Chain A
Amino acid sequence: MNLSLLLEMAVAGYGSRTALGPSQCGLSFAELRARAAGGATVLGDQRAEQLVFIGTGGPAYPQAMFSAAIAGVPFVPLNYRLSAVQIQDLLGELGNSLVVADSEYLPLVGQADVQLMSTGDFVRVAASATPRKGQPASADATAVILFTSGTTARPKAVLLKHENLMSYIISTVEFGNAGEQEAALITVPPYHVAAVASTLSNIYSGRRVVHLPDFDPAAWLRLVADEGVTSAMLVPTMLSRVVDLLDASPADLPTLRAIAYGGARMPQQLLKRALRMFPDVGFVNAYGLTETSSTIAILGAEDHREAVSSDDPAIRRRLGSVGRPVPGIEVQLRDEFDQEVGPGQAGALWVRGSQVAGEYHGQGSTLDADGWFCTRDRCYQDTDGYLFIEGRLDDTIIRGAENIAPAEIEDALLSHEAVKDVAVVGLPDAEWGETVCAVVVRERGTDPTADELKAHVRGRLRGSRTPDAIVWRDVLPHSPTGKLLRRQLRTELAETSTSTDGSVDGAAQARITPAKPGVHDRSYRRHPAG
């Protein structure tokens, strides 16, 4: 079992079709395979144990992915927005690698003990190298390694085996089903499981792929028009920006037939706006995790249409669901004692199937004795099998498509002399899904400003970890045993409101747009690295 089989089949079935880039002058499937095989030779010559990729989306990405597959070594795309220290730390964990990095990211590698090539050089050398035949991978060889932030600050390396990814593709994609006029637009970053999955599924469908490395809604609209894009995958914040732009300056996108979304909770108002704005486009919600090789449940276009037009409230509610499990996936809802819950009850969502990897580097498998994996999402299932994600079992905040651990920010704030106690929670937000709110108890006699505390956090952590809002309290709610009652705090805060950039200073109570009551639709959650 090797991912390269997918590309071999594509070449045999439709080798001369365009795989990447513009339809007239892009790279064909046959050319992609030839270049990937050349890249595998480069890997062999360097005796690399993995191919680390630090670059943006583009034709080099699938080429590098398949070079690694053909050479029988793991492919490891890293988040190019990480700091040099973080990159070198991850490289240290990986060992003998060939790092292929876009020129602007070469300096991030510093003095790390790896072999280093720019993306341009890798592509150039691969083009003239003797193409290498695929190596049969061992039964449980790792194909792709993706880093996820999970619930603690330190990223974990998720190991996706060839068999996990192949199983996902073969179970959910029909070979060669894309028409020649179809084109997919990928904007999701290369280190996200969605980018890996769409690369593989588009090759196996025969669908041409166009990349947009730096998302910008105007550029997205232009590319859709210029390239005749028929399907696109977007995270909710990107969809929001596209919808806002089209509101302001309407444009026709006659070729667009399908929009798939995921990566974070989809605010229902945004979804309804988008459905109205694109009446001829099929919307698909894809729910999955890095650890499950991406999608494990789908709410299809027909499901969306039915939910919007139904008189039955039970069917209408499905617009906020993540749909039904994909073929090959079994689901189970369990209580805190690991017993299956009764009908209509919520529980932790456990899943089982060949695409479920559930293994981290250095930790082995996290599957239970019967092969079940816990998604750590709280979920319930209606009588027709539709899954509704209510939230996380733990306290991870999901802002945009990023996982943020409250503990990291709380630690940073507690290191400030004026902070006596703090709780960081996620608050519902129409645009971001959640925003980060720090509830601070000040030391007696101190008077820090919100900006001061934000700057303090920014100095210690990445920009995206800076709280969006600071709220002052005299005391935080605790249980009799001293446990912080986060859920209660979240409820209290959601009932008041705050402006998204502000702080609540004494009497100046700014307002957050209150969340819509009802199901918290964490429609899709994957774990982007970093």
Chain B
Amino acid sequence: MLDFATPVPDGQSPVRGLDGGTELGKRYTADEPDSTLELLATKAGQGTLSVGGEPLIVKIPKSLPASD
């Protein structure tokens, strides 16, 4: 993992098994019941988000009506 401010060196690629990709705007949570973890991807990428080596899963969005 790199620090946020560090430029990514060329030729790097995600570790196999953690290269499933992360989608812009999607929320991710731990693959366990009642997980209190929620991440919002503000930038897409090739890597897979994980906690302790366990890949996170996409959280199904609650559908709320547009109120604005």
Judge if B65 is at the interface, Cβ distance under 8 Å: yes
Are A175 and B26 closer than 8 Å at their CB atoms?
Answer: yes
Q: With A9-B24, A9-B42, A176-B25 given, is the CB distance from A233 to B65 under 8 Å?
A: no
CB contact between A286 and one of B40, B63, B67 (< 8 Å): that residue: B67
Chain A, Cβ-Cβ closest to B61: A174
Task: Identify B64's interface contact among A172, A175, A207, A262, CB under 8 A.
Answer: A172
A-contact bits for B9-28, CB 8 A (1 contact / 0 none)? 00000000000000011100
Q: Which of A198-206, A243-251, A508-516 contacts B (4 or more CB under 8 A)?
A: A198-206
Fill in one digit per residue for A8-36: 1 if any B CB lies within 8 Å of its CB, else 0: 11001100000000000000000000000
Give the chain B neighbours of A326 by CB distance below 8 A: 64
| Interface membership of A284, Cβ < 8 A | yes
- State whether the Cβ of A327 lies closer than 8 Å to any Cβ in chain B: yes
Docked CA distance A282–B43 (Å): 33
- Closest chain A CB from B41 CB (angstroms): 9
Q: Are A300 and B44 interface neighbours, CB within 8 A?
A: no
Bound together, the chains give a CA A29 to CA B68 distance in angstroms of 19
Q: Which residues of B contact A295 (CB under 8 A)?
A: 67-68
How far is B24's CA from A321's CA once the two chains are assembled, in angstroms? Answer: 36
Decide if B44 touches A12 in the complex (CB within 8 Å).
Answer: yes
Known: A5-B42, A9-B42, A327-B62. A294 touches B25 (CB 8 A): no
User: Helix, strand, loop or mixed for chain B's interface?
Assistant: loop
Contacting B at CB under 8 A, from A82-119, are none
Any chain B CB within 8 A of the CB of A146? no
* CB contact under 8 A between A175 and B25, given known A5-B42, A12-B43: yes
User: Which residues of the partner chain A approach B40 to less than 8 Å between Cβ atoms?
Assistant: 170, 175
- Within the assembled complex, what's the spacing in Å between the Cα atoms of A8 and B42? 9
Q: Name the CB-closest residue of B to A188.
A: B68
Tell me whether B8 is interfacial, beta carbon within 8 Å. Answer: no
**For the complex, is A153 an interface residue (Cβ under 8 Å from B)?**
no
Q: Contact at A205–B66, with CB atoms within 8 Å?
A: yes
Docked-complex contact A327 and B67, CB < 8 angstroms: no
Number of A-B residue pairs, CB cutoff 8 Å, is 66
Is A298 at the interface (CB under 8 A from chain B)?
yes
- Interface pair A258/B24, CB less than 8 Å apart: no
Q: How many chain A residues touch the partner (CB < 8 A)?
A: 36
Q: Which residue of A lies closest to B67 (CB)?
A: A286
Interface size on B, residues (CB 8 A): 15
Q: Is the CB of B62 within 8 A of A260?
A: no
Contact A12 B65, CB 8 Å, known A5-B42, A170-B40: no
Given contact pairs A170-B40, A174-B61, A231 touches B66 in the complex (Cβ within 8 A): yes
CA distance A231 to B67 in the complex (A): 10
Q: Known contacts A5-B42, A9-B25, A12-B24; decide if A194 and B65 are in contact (CB<8 Å).
A: no
A residues 304-345 near B (Cβ < 8 Å) are: 326-327
Given known contacts A9-B24, A9-B25, A12-B43, A233 and B68 CB-to-CB distance under 8 angstroms: yes
Max chain A CB contacts within 10 Å: which of B43, B44, B62, B66?
Answer: B66
Could you tell me the distance between the alpha carbons of A444 and B63 in the complex, rounded to whole angstroms? Answer: 64
Q: Mark B36-55, 1 if CB is under 8 A from A, else 0.
A: 00001011100000000000
Give the nearest-CB partner of A194 in chain B: B68
Within 8 A of B (CB), among A267-290: 282, 284, 286
For A327, list chain B residues within 8 Å (CB).
62, 64
Contact with B along A180-224 (1 / 0, CB 8 A): 000010000000001001101110010100000000000000000
The answer to the question of A127 belonging to the interface, with a C-beta cut-off of 8 Å to chain B, is no
A5, B25: Cα distance in complex, Å: 11
Compute how far the CA of A418 lies from the CA of B64 in the bound complex, rounded to whole angstroms. Answer: 55
Bound together, the chains give a CA A301 to CA B44 distance in angstroms of: 33
- Chain B residues contacting A202 (CB-CB under 8 Å) are 68
Q: Which of A8, A260, A262 contacts B66 (CB under 8 A)?
A: A260
Residues in A whose Cβ lies below 8 Å from that of B61: 174, 177
User: Distance in Å from the Cβ of A211 to the closest Cβ of chain B?
Assistant: 14
A480 CB to closest chain B CB (Å) equals 46
Determine whether the beta carbon of B65 is less than 8 Å from that of A300.
Answer: yes
Known: A5-B42, A12-B44. A284 touches B67 (CB 8 A): yes
Q: Quick one: closest A residue to B62, CB to CB? A: A327
* B67 CB → nearest A CB, Å: 4
Counting chain A CB atoms within 10 Å of each CB, the highest count among B44, B61, B65 belongs to B65
Nearest 7 A-B pairs (CB), nearest first? A175-B25, A198-B68, A286-B67, A174-B61, A201-B68, A300-B65, A284-B65
- Point out residues on B near A: beta carbons under 8 Å: 24-26, 40, 42-44, 61-68
